[in-house]
Structure 1
Amino acid sequence: MRQLRRGHLTAALATALLAAPAAAQTIYVETGRLIDGVSSTVRTGQCIRIEAERIASVAPCGAMPAGATRIDWSAYTVLPGLIDLHTHLADLGQSADLAAPMKASPAETALVGARNARVTLDAGFTSVRDVGTYRGLTDVTLRNAIERGDVPGPRMWVAGAYLTIPKGGGELNGVVPNEQLPADMRLGVAASPEEAAAKTTYLLDHGADFIKTIATGAVLAIGTEPGAPELSEAQLRAIVKVAHARGKRVTAHAHGAQGIKNAIAAGVDSIEHASLADDEALQMAKAHGTWLAMDIYNGDYIDEIGTSKGWPAEYLRKNRDTTAAQRQAFRRAVELGVNIGFATDAGVYPHGLNARQFAYMVRYGMTPMQAIQSATGRAAEEMGRSDIGAIVPGRYADLVAVRADPLADIRALEAIDHVMKGGVLVR
């Protein structure tokens, strides 16, 4: 146990924690610096008692409970497990091959998703909101496999498919005539408010946790423009009505200002990207309490890697048209106090690099603590969850530990030292 008190987990302890059900033991975690995800106070000398996957208490360290396993993280900053609100785990990832999503079967896509899930968890992201896949409902399969313990991965909340107009930003355009695409790649295609409502019902009936709508064109979709509205306000209202009646949230992919305003007016809960938001759109978001999920890191990745790997010129042009504007909109949203959650569009860039966005959020106006909270307590708030995102009693014991101080250098979160999910040590 002396070796543990020096901050080094023995191989035997790591194996025991990985193998044993969390409910079978009490775990006592000694922290150095504690950031709880909801307050701005950094506490020292705190110990976290974990029972049955959840946090039972957080208090100054004292005598270890009888029979408990002690983990010494006294040399680390301990934070809640991180949350990414915009990922695409159950997908192949972006490449120059437009047909890649169609070439992979649903089974292959799910297996790739399992790999993506493990990498994401290992990077310290213990929960994600997965906002769509071309192979509809593959994300439901992956979520269920993680929940059963078949594969390791973060807690997932999934959209099932994209709700999009025909040939819109949620379709696999430019490969074959869209009508010839596999049926599971068009589960959310809707041409009218009535069809949009019916598709919403279908996705919720088949396991979707929330609904993802495509309110404008997309950067990474052939034949669509980010500034152009797509789903109409009437379609969006029909979707929101069905989802909210069932207690489910709705988010809208929306780059252009008018599409953002249409979505907010229709009652969506959050906006993805918000790249071309004007001041009126940001003021609307603030007035309505609408959340923004702005992926301000990956524009640089798309420009560099997309150019070197031969991604379609249309993609690269649209990325250049939106990247700088999005970052300025983010800065203005921070100034206005608009609700902002941590969201990266992981899958456009390799999974596991999610934490690279923190430095961009600080560069464009957030304090390090605000950036951390956007991926912990605030992200949980955006999802309507009271069981994740904070180190407080009653929440899941999802924790990360980093030796460096992320408040002094936010990039410390790019190299997480230890990860725990539900009281089980991941590494």
Structure 2
Amino acid sequence: MATLLCAARVFDGHSFTEPKDVIIRDGTIESISSHTGQPHDNAVLIDADGQYLVPGFIDCHVHIRDQSQLAAHANHGVTTVLDMGSWPASLVDSFRGLPGMPDYLAAGPPAFPPGGHAAKSTMIPRSFVVGSEDDAVGFVRSRVMEKTDYVKIICEDDCDPSPIRKLASEAKLAGKTSIAHTVSTKTFQLALEADVDVITHAPLDDDLSEALVAAMKRSGKVSVPTLVMMQAVAQRPKKLRPADDVQHAVESVRRLHAAGVPILAGTDSNEGVPGGPAEVKHGESYAVELRLLESAGLTPLEVLQSATSWPAEHLGLRDRGSVVVGNRADLVLLAENPLTGIAALQKIASVWCHGVQVRNA
């Protein structure tokens, strides 16, 4: 049965329309029309009463271990999650296509450099350690066989750049986006020079230099800074590096944004994952990430875009990220206008995941 969302102010990518009537059917947006106040045959009527309809939020960096964590994201308006490191493949596949849950996209296991802290762990299968170009070819081939959506690459300060380059090039040949984990200026540069598509995390050890920022802009790469995780890591009693400070990450995002580099919202939420650098909670951390992005210079409009249309554009999610006919009905209804203050992004009245209403305040 269809759903008629009546008298919703629809976000058009830049501003909100006058009240519109939105029909949702079979998980997609069937129509958007002027508000008439007339009922629709065979449709469930929901009165939006002039509230604000935006695309469902996209969290570009999570680590999911069970379905309750997916539900926590949905409860906070996140309708798509990108898992940046989970295995085995059976676990990853168990989170796909769940009704009433965020759409789950995944990189599967990351590629780890040999000799790094993670690679020395007994928890990491040897097949995930990539120390040569041949290893890189085999690793990407395995991810293709598992039908993962992305290729995740761990960069560490002293790792050999040649396997990183090969991972990125093989991912491109396979039609997959490569995503690099970087937490220092050195690894950020390594990933950029290796032609990785997306750089996740922002460095804690120093501000990105003007030269690196300019190179990032020229290359057309995008950033998922995960400031909420960087803040949690920097606040640990034992720091990875004495100079680690979340303000380096915030300032780096400020410089990237000012240069025109796309900034995508992601939390690195990892609650329940053993051995993580710090714990970030699922769902509730998303609002913290958006506030940190605002502190780095994004306007309320840009914060909303970083959570919706920008990830859709730069990560190939063309069926979401905007409220238009034909798109997935991944939607959030807000009680207040988020363009006048991002606190409104927490004033959630309703959430739909692929047309299924999962929250109704």
In the alignment, the residues of structure 1 paired with residue 210 and residue 118 of structure 2 have an alpha-carbon distance, to the nearest angstrom, of 26
Q: 1:206: Cα distance to partner?
A: 1.5
Q: 1:3 matched to which residue of 2?
A: none
1:251-270 aligned at under 5 Å gives the runs: 251-270=179-198
Matched, 1:34 2:10: yes
SS in 1 for 2:175: coil
Q: TM-score, normalised by structure 2?
A: 0.89
Q: 1:253: Cα distance to partner?
A: 0.7
SS in 2 for 1:45: strand
Residues 93-120 of structure 1, C-alpha deviation per residue, up to 9 Å, x if partnerless?
A: xxxxxxxxxxxxxxxxxxxx21111111
Change (3 A) 1:242 1:31: farther
Matched, 1:387 2:319: yes
Does the CA-based 8 Å contact 1:28-1:47 persist in structure 2?
Answer: yes
Q: 2:51 matched to which residue of 1?
A: 76
Q: 1:299: Cα distance to partner?
A: 3.7
Q: 1:257: Cα distance to partner?
A: 2.7
The one-letter amino acid of 1:30's match is C
In the alignment, the residues of structure 1 paired with residue 98 and residue 81 of structure 2 have an alpha-carbon distance, to the nearest angstrom, of 17
SS in 2 for 1:394: coil
Change (3 A) 1:253 1:301: closer
Q: Which of 156, 165, 175 is the matching residue for 2:104?
A: 156
Q: 1:118 matched to which residue of 2?
A: 71
In the alignment, the residues of structure 2 paired with residue 35 and residue 169 of structure 1 have an alpha-carbon distance, to the nearest angstrom, of 45
Percent identical across equivalent pairs? 25
Matched, 1:190 2:133: no
Change (3 A) 1:395 1:358: same
In the alignment, the residues of structure 2 paired with residue 117 and residue 138 of structure 1 have an alpha-carbon distance, to the nearest angstrom, of 16
In the alignment, the residues of structure 1 paired with residue 25 and residue 128 of structure 2 have an alpha-carbon distance, to the nearest angstrom, of 41
In the alignment, the residues of structure 1 paired with residue 331 and residue 118 of structure 2 have an alpha-carbon distance, to the nearest angstrom, of 34
Q: 1:127 matched to which residue of 2?
A: 80
Change (3 A) 1:408 1:379: same
Change (3 A) 1:280 1:31: farther
Q: Which has the higher helix share?
A: 1
Q: 2:329 matched to which residue of 1?
A: 397
Does the CA-based 8 Å contact 2:16-2:52 persist in structure 1?
Answer: no
In the alignment, the residues of structure 2 paired with residue 32 and residue 74 of structure 1 have an alpha-carbon distance, to the nearest angstrom, of 7
Q: Which of 339, 342, 345 is the matching residue for 1:410?
A: 342
In the alignment, the residues of structure 2 paired with residue 138 and residue 334 of structure 1 have an alpha-carbon distance, to the nearest angstrom, of 38
Q: 1:4 matched to which residue of 2?
A: none
Moved more, 341-350 or 54-63: 54-63
Q: 2:250 matched to which residue of 1?
A: 327
Q: 1:166 matched to which residue of 2?
A: 114
Q: 1:52 matched to which residue of 2?
A: 26
In the alignment, the residues of structure 2 paired with residue 293 and residue 364 of structure 1 have an alpha-carbon distance, to the nearest angstrom, of 13
1:106-255 aligned at under 5 Å gives the runs: 113-133=66-86, 135-137=87-89, 139-144=91-96, 147-149=97-99, 152-168=100-116, 170-171=118-119, 173=120, 178=121, 181-182=122-123, 185-216=125-156, 228-230=157-159, 232-255=160-183
SS in 2 for 1:321: coil
Q: 1:83: Cα distance to partner?
A: 0.3
Q: 1:40: Cα distance to partner?
A: 0.9
Q: 1:283: Cα distance to partner?
A: 1.1
Does the CA-based 8 Å contact 1:139-1:158 persist in structure 2?
Answer: no
Q: 1:400: Cα distance to partner?
A: 0.7
Residues 18-76 of structure 1, C-alpha deviation per residue, up to 9 Å, x if partnerless?
A: xxxxxxx222112443224xx21211211212222111222212334322222111242
SS in 1 for 2:46: strand
Change (3 A) 1:365 1:314: closer
In the alignment, the residues of structure 2 paired with residue 369 and residue 417 of structure 1 have an alpha-carbon distance, to the nearest angstrom, of 20
Q: 1:205: Cα distance to partner?
A: 0.8
Q: Which runs of 5+ in 1 are unaligned?
A: 1-24, 91-112, 217-227, 308-312
Instruction: Compare CA radii of gyration and give the structure with the larger one.
Output: 1
Does the CA-based 8 Å contact 1:130-1:139 persist in structure 2?
Answer: no
Matched, 1:288 2:219: yes
Change (3 A) 1:119 1:186: farther
Change (3 A) 1:139 1:333: farther
Does the CA-based 8 Å contact 1:136-1:185 persist in structure 2?
Answer: no
In the alignment, the residues of structure 1 paired with residue 211 and residue 182 of structure 2 have an alpha-carbon distance, to the nearest angstrom, of 15
Aligned length: 346
In the alignment, the residues of structure 1 paired with residue 63 and residue 320 of structure 2 have an alpha-carbon distance, to the nearest angstrom, of 20
Q: TM-score, normalised by structure 1?
A: 0.76
Q: 1:10 matched to which residue of 2?
A: none
Does the CA-based 8 Å contact 1:130-1:158 persist in structure 2?
Answer: yes
Moved more, 385-394 or 365-374: 385-394
